[in-house]
Homo-oligomer: A and B are copies of this chain.
Amino acid sequence: VAALLLAISGYRPEPWAGALSILRGACDVRVWPDAGDPADIRYALAWKPPHGLLAGFPKLEAIFSLGAGVDALMRDPTLPAVPVVRYVDPDLTGRMREYVALHVLAHHRRMLDYAAQQHSRLWRELPQPAAREVRVGVMGLGVLGQDACVALAMLGFQVAGWSRTPKKVAGVACFAGAEQLAPFLARTDILVCLLPLTPETEGILNMRLFRLLARDGALPAPVVINAGRGGLQNEADILAALKGGVIGAASLDVFAEEPLPDTSPLWGHPRVILTPHNAAWSSPEACARAVVRQIKAHQNGAPLAHVVDRSLSY
């Protein structure tokens, strides 16, 4: 009997197990740690499974990631040499669009300043550029990054994107590669990071990069928004950059350690908007639909979509 193994750590698996009932007919659903006969497992839907777990299934044909990022999977040195599939779905894309639009607008419209003024019962208008006078830069031009660029352009911002390899996005100035990172940053007032976490991108959001952001913008200081992975950011550098005025504010959805430790000074920082890694939640229903679509195609001999390039780790 062919089966899919749901291997989730850190969350209750029940909502996903329930949503995967739509697989019935195509294959069985087993919920880790109750995998049953290891030889039954053809597919895995996984979120941060323990290293070594997936190597124990000799007939595994594909691993589906429950989230957009596959960095946790790729760090397993025993990961079987089968296709690893990223989670790509309009539901996820829409949720990330909401997060990016909200946080870019929040900083553009100086929401932290107005919240402080409200607290002090201070009625005062602050200088306010229009969106078309503000330059947003999106790092990472995959499905999520391209969609975010289009939404930001529709809201009126001047939008540019940066990616490892050259991309084309209508209405968006596209920069690519290490040599175009500095010019991209030099025209960026609000930086949005949606990069995958790979050996190449680890710690990329650091003081050296922050110092390259635009100093001539219409906002008081550059802003950094990270909804990629915590490993992309140097949290000590973010705090130092805020203190030194190198950046004026940050929205962080992801952290080096999650949950963010109680002791982190990011929690209480007046210029930081924190969220608990919920920028783009994987809806069980949407995720299950995407997996079922792929499994049915795969069983009919069609190629899997959104397969990770192992040489690039994403």
Contacts and interface: CB of A to CB of B under 8 A. Distances in A.
A277 B126 CA distance: 11
Contact of A105 (B102, B119, B259, B260): B102
The CB with the most chain B CB atoms within 10 A, among A95, A109, A119, is that of A109
B94 A132 contact: yes
A130 B97 contact: no
Contacts of A260: 123
B155 A101 contact: yes
A151 interface: yes
A111 B106 CA distance: 10
Interface string A93-132: 0110111011001101101001101110101111010111
A276 interface: yes
A273 B105 CA distance: 15
Contact of A267 (B102, B121, B131, B268): B121
A114 B156 contact: no
Given A125-B281, A281-B125, A98 B94 contact: no
Contacts of A21: none
Most buried by B among A105, A131, A258, A262: A105
Contact of A276 (B94, B99, B124, B132): B124
A130 B275 contact: no
Contact of A154 (B121, B151, B278): B151
Given A91-B130, A154-B151, A267-B118, A259 B123 contact: yes
A165 B65 CA distance: 50
A204 interface: no
A31 interface: no
Nearest to A157: B98
A283 interface: yes
Contacts of A106: 102, 106, 111
A128 B102 CA distance: 14
A176 interface: no
27 contacts: A94-B131, A94-B132, A94-B156, A95-B130, A97-B155, A97-B156, A98-B105, A98-B108, A98-B130, A98-B131, A98-B156, A99-B109, A101-B101, A101-B155, A106-B111, A114-B273, A114-B275, A114-B276, A117-B276, A118-B273, A119-B268, A123-B258, A123-B259, A125-B276, A125-B278, A130-B283, A151-B155
Given A94-B132, A114-B273, A118-B273, 16 more contacts: A94-B156, A95-B128, A97-B156, A98-B109, A98-B130, A98-B156, A99-B109, A102-B106, A102-B111, A106-B111, A119-B268, A121-B267, A121-B268, A124-B276, A128-B278, A151-B154
